């Protein structure tokens, strides 16, 4: 029965469709990349119909490995970006590090108030600063922003 079985491009397109359907139900992104490998193998089998089953299987294996590798690198970069976003999640003060704001109440004895977007924050600084001074946030300690003055010259 299997000796009459011919593997042509339709076989690989069918495998790709089955893998895409599996991907729809599993959400793993693993079947997607293997399905893309099967799709590419089907395209190659269509362009070169004289390829044997062993060579088609080898092409599929290579394409699947390449596809999974590309998928891993893509999703790994997405995870790294998510970690960067999560560093400031529920830590509102951390998102202000590196930004520049104006002093609205003078910083005296190391403590004052700065305007941050539409709110005000306690600011701590090593030197006293007058109102309207521009400061840059360098760190956060509790509910206070640690700032340093910016040269206006």
Residue range 39-68: mean pLDDT, rounded: 92
Range of the domain at 6: 2-86
Give me the number of domains the chain comprises: 2
| Residue-level pLDDT at 4 | 67
Residue 76 confidence class, pLDDT cut points 50, 70, 90: confident
Residue 51 confidence class, pLDDT cut points 50, 70, 90: confident
Q: Is pLDDT above 60 for 84? A: yes
89 backbone dihedrals φ, ψ, rounded to 5°: -65, 125
pLDDT in tens, 88-104: 667 788 889 999 999 99
Assess whether 73 and 138 both reside in one domain: no
Residue 153 confidence class, pLDDT cut points 50, 70, 90: very low
Q: How many CB atoms lie within 10 A of CB 16?
A: 21
DSSP letters, 62-103, are HHHHHHHHHHHHHHHHHHHHHHHHHTTTT-GGGGGTT-EEEE
Q: Is pLDDT above 90 for 1? A: no
pLDDT in tens, 8-41: 889 999 999 999 999 999 877 889 999 999 999 9
| Residue-level pLDDT at 28 | 79
Q: How many CB atoms lie within 10 A of CB 132?
A: 10
Q: In whole angstroms, give the CA distance from residue 120 to residue 101.
A: 10
Q: Which of 86, 108, 138 is the endpoint of a domain?
A: 86
Assess whether 31 and 59 both reside in one domain: yes
**Could you tell me how many helices (H) and strands (E) the chain has, helices first?**
3, 5
pTM given for the model: 0.51
| Residue-level pLDDT at 81 | 64
Assess whether 6 and 66 both reside in one domain: yes
Q: How many CB atoms lie within 10 A of CB 36?
A: 20
User: Does residue 121 contact residue 145 with C-beta atoms inside 8 Å?
Assistant: yes
Assess whether 81 and 110 both reside in one domain: no
Q: How many CB atoms lie within 10 A of CB 2?
A: 4
């Amino acid at each position: 029965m299997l000796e009459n079985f011919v593997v042509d491009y339709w076989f690989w397109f069918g495998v790709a469709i089955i893998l895409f359907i599996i991907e729809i139900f599993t959400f793993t992104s693993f079947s997607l990349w293997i399905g893309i490998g099967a799709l590419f193998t089907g395209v190659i089998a269509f362009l070169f119909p004289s390829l044997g089953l062993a060579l088609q299987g080898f092409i599929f294996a290579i394409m699947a490995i390449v596809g999974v590798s590309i998928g891993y690198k893509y999703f790994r970069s997405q995870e790294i970006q998510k970690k960067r976003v999560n560093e400031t999640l529920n830590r509102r003060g951390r998102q202000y590090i590196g930004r520049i704001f104006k002093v609205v109440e003078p910083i005296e004895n190391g403590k004052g108030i700065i305007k941050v977007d539409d709110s005000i924050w306690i600011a701590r600084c090593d030197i006293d600063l007058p109102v309207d001074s521009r400061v840059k946030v360098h760190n956060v300690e509790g509910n206070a922003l640690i700032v340093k003055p910016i040269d206006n010259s």
